[in-house]
Chains A and B, each alone.
Chain A
């Protein structure tokens, strides 16, 4: 069952990611944005398979919700009709595919080599290890477990958390300032 779901989500994610970038039927940014939503939802499905339930929910809320609405809003603000006409240059397409294909080849071969040398180590072979907390209970990526990891851990992530909140404030002020009519 897990295997079938993994295959579905993986294929869906990669296919719709390809359609975001090189869609043969449409040059329209709106189509790309819609396929990006499909990719995000498939990735959150992968997160569920990896027991990261909280992150799966956040993925859908933030990416498929907030980020996509922002993208569609900006696409509506800009004039996409003019951009939809332009053709991709065949040379850049071929060169891009060659470069990225080479990169992926290096990546794949390095993973394969790692798994060959790792041999019988169950860790490296990818047998999932159960996460056990102090009380001996099995922990998954639930909201509770992630919250504990964030806040109650010795030398935990409280400072990064606060820094991120400042970052969000700065981003908000920056976005408002940049969108004002006259830039000084």
Chain B
């Protein structure tokens, strides 16, 4: 068996990103869409750490550190928004939140 190379890690990252995008496209529940967004952020993290490892440069890991921080802040605000929305409309489904649709 051959050692995992950069392209292997990039493949995993691409697969995770695609699955996250699939979730954003297909699912109707706001919470699941949010989880899919987290998946996509994680895919970017895997790519950055792999690049950092295989190019001998720690800057990629610093970038991931910042991404994780921003993602945590984003989740806090986003979930607060979802809760506020749910209080007003009693739903967390995107199909029912189509007031601005023509």
Contact = CB atoms under 8 A, between A and B. Distances in A.
Do A and B originate from a single complex? yes
3 nearest CB pairs, A to B: A126-B5, A129-B56, A126-B6
A36 B83 contact: no
Nearest to B2: A3
A92 B61 contact: no
A77 B42 CA distance: 26
Interface string B1-44: 11111111111101110111111011111011011101100100
Contact of B54 (A2, A4, A22, A123): A123
Contacts of A88: 26-28
B50 to A, nearest CB: 6
A150 B3 contact: no
Main secondary structure of the interface of B (DSSP, over half): helix
A36 B35 contact: yes
Interface string A69-110: 011001101100001001010001101110111011001100
Given A2-B4, A171-B77, A100 B69 contact: no
Nearest to B31: A29
Interface in A2-40: 2-4, 6, 10, 13-14, 17-18, 20-22, 29, 32-33, 36, 39-40
* Candidate in A22, A33, A83, A115 with the most chain B CB atoms within 10 angstroms: A83
B14 A33 contact: no
A168 B73 contact: yes
Contact of A100 (B25, B38, B53): B25
